[in-house]
Amino acid sequence: MFSWFREIDATERKTFWACFGGWALDALDVQLFSLVIPTLLALWHISKADAGMITSVTLIASALGGWVGGAISDRIGRVRALQVMILWFALATFASAFAQDYNQLLVLKALQGLGFGGEWAAGVALMSEAIRPSHRGKALGTVQSAWAVGWGASVLIQTSIYSFVPPEIAWRLLFGLGLIPAILVIFVRRHVPEPEASPARAPKAQQARTPLLGIFSPDVLRVTLVGLLLGTGAHGGYYAVTSWLPTYLKTERHLSTLGTGAYLAVIIVAFFFGCIAAAHLLDRIGRRRTVGLFALSCVIVVLAYVFLPIGDTAMLILGFPLGFCSAGIPASMGALFSELYPGGIRGTGVGFCYNAGRIVSAIFPFLVGHLSEQMSLGAAIGIDAAVAYGLVVVAVLMLPETKAVKLDAVDAPGAPAGAGVRSSAPAQ
C-alpha cells in the first residue's frame, strides 16, 4: 500500500511529512469547534443557527485565505508561505481560548479561517511540485488523510479533557492547545527546500505579475468556474455532516460524550482509509472517475445514515462507509486542481478552487441549523448533504482528465496560460 514511499527521495519525504503534519495540526485546530458546540449552546444560550453561523463565517474566511494564500505562495514561494499560514492559524486558535462572548469568538474564528485556507493552498502547491508525477496522486491523497489524524486527535483530547475538567473551562483548554502547530514551522524552516518547479525560482521576467487575478484570464476561466462548483459541492456536503454530527449524536441519538467519541472514532478511522483508497485510485483510474465514484457513494451513504430507522449498533457500523466515502473527494481535489493550472498561477488556482467554494458552501452548515428548527436535525443534514454532493457529480463531468501530467514552473514564453499543463503527455 505504501511501497511508493520507498521510491521517493529524501527531499520528497521531508516535504511530504511537513505537509502531512501541517494538515493534521490544521484539522486538530479546526475540528475543535464542532466538538464544543454543545457546550457553547448551553453556556452562552445561543441558538443552533448562531453556532452554524460561526462555522459559515470561518469557511468564508478560509476561502479568502486560500485564494490570497495561494497567490502569496506564487509570489514568495511555497515554503515561506506555508510557514506564515501555519503560524497564523495557530495563533488565531490559541486566541479563541480567551473569547468572552459570541461576537469575539466569531471574529477569532474568522481569523483562524484565513490561515486555515492559506495553509492548504500553499501545502498542495508545494507537494504537487515536489513529488514526481507518477506518485503525485498517491502523495497528495495520503497527505489529505492527515485530516483524519488531526480530527481523531481532537476527539481524543476533547473526550479526555471533558472527563476531568468542567465544560466551562474545558472548551478553553481545547482552543489553548491550538498553539501546538507553531512548532512545525521549525521543521519546515530547517528541512524543506523550495521545489525546482516553484514559480518563485523561475526567472523574474517569467513570473506571474498578477497571480491573484490570473485565474480569471479567458484561457483558464472555465476551469476556475467549474472548480468553484466542485469545491462548493465538496465542502458543502462535508461540512453539512461534520459540523453537526457531534450535536446530532448527542441531541437526537442521546449519546454521552464517551459514546459520541466512539461513533466519531469509527468515522474518523474510515476517513483515513478512504483517503488512502482515493490516493491509489487517483493514479490508477484517474482523477475524474475517482471523484465521481466517491460523490455518488456519499449521497447514498449519508441519506442511509440519517434516514434509515436503525439502532445504535447499526449506526456505529454504518459510520465506517460514511467516513470512508466522505474522504474520497477532498483527497482527490489537491491533485486535480494543481494539474489544471500553470506554475505562475498554480497556488492561486488551487487555493481558489478548493477554498472559494467555501464562500458558497458556507450556507450549508447554516441551513442545517436553520432547517433543524422546522424538521429533525438528521433530516436537515441529509437533505443538505445530498444536494451538495450532487453538485460534485455535475462539476466533475465538465473537467478534463489530468492524470500524471508533468508540471512546469511557468508556461513557455508566448504560450497561453495553462496550455502546457492541460496538454502535457503523462509522465512515466
Residue 127 to residues 137, 339, 395, Cα–Cα distance (Å):
10, 12, 24
Q: Give pLDDT, residue 293.
A: 93
CA gap 148, 246 in Å, rounded? 15
pLDDT score, position 404: 67
Query: What is the C-alpha separation between 279 and 139, in angstroms, rounded?
Result: 7
Exposure string of 21-39, with b = 16+ CB inside 10 Å and e = fewer, is: bbbbbbbbbbbbbbbbbbb
CATH classification number, 11-183+216-422, choose in 3.20.170.30, 1.20.990.10, 3.30.1050.10, 1.20.1250.20: 1.20.1250.20
- Higher-pLDDT residue of 420 and 375 is 375
Residue 43 CB: number of other CB atoms within 10 A?
A: 12
pLDDT of 99-150, one tens digit each? 999 999 999 999 988 888 888 888 888 988 888 888 888 999 999 888 888 8
Most confident of 13-17, 257-261, 303-307: 13-17
**pLDDT computed for residue 269 by the predictor:** 87
Q: Residue 142 carries which side chain, given as an amino acid letter?
A: T
CA distance 258 to 155: 10
Residue 230's pLDDT is: 92
SS (H, E, C) 27-40: HHHHHHHHHHHHHH
Q: What is the mean pLDDT of residues 86-90?
A: 88
User: pLDDT: is 329 or 214 the higher one?
Assistant: 329
Q: Is pLDDT of 416 > 60?
A: no
Q: Which of 93-102, 249-258, 289-298 has the lowest mean pLDDT?
A: 249-258
Q: Is pLDDT larger for residue 76 or for residue 310? A: 76
Mean of the pLDDT values across residues 56-69? 84
Residue-wise pLDDT for 259-306, tens only, equals 566 777 787 888 899 999 999 999 899 998 999 999 999 888 888 877
Q: In this prediction, what percent of the chain has a pLDDT beyond 90?
A: 14
CA distance 78 to 71: 10
Predicted pLDDT at 338: 86
Closest CA to 270 of 311, 331, 313, 312: 331
* Mean pLDDT value across residues 10-14: 90
Distances (CA, A) of 273 to 145, 149, 240, 267: 8, 11, 21, 10
Whether residue 327 is predicted with pLDDT greater than 70 in this model: the reply is: yes
Cell of 169: 473551562
What local confidence, expressed as pLDDT, does residue 260 receive?
61
DSSP element (H, E) containing 163: helix 146-164
Grouping H, G, I as helix, E, B as strand and the rest as coil, residue 405 is strand
What are the pLDDT digits (tens) for 343-392?
Answer: 788 888 888 888 777 777 778 877 888 888 888 887 888 888 888 899 99
Whole-number average pLDDT of the chain: 82
Distance CA 205, CA 203 (A): 5
pLDDT at 307: 80
Q: What is the pLDDT of residue 13?
A: 92
Q: What is the pLDDT of residue 409?
A: 55
Residue 425 C-alpha cell reads as 503527455
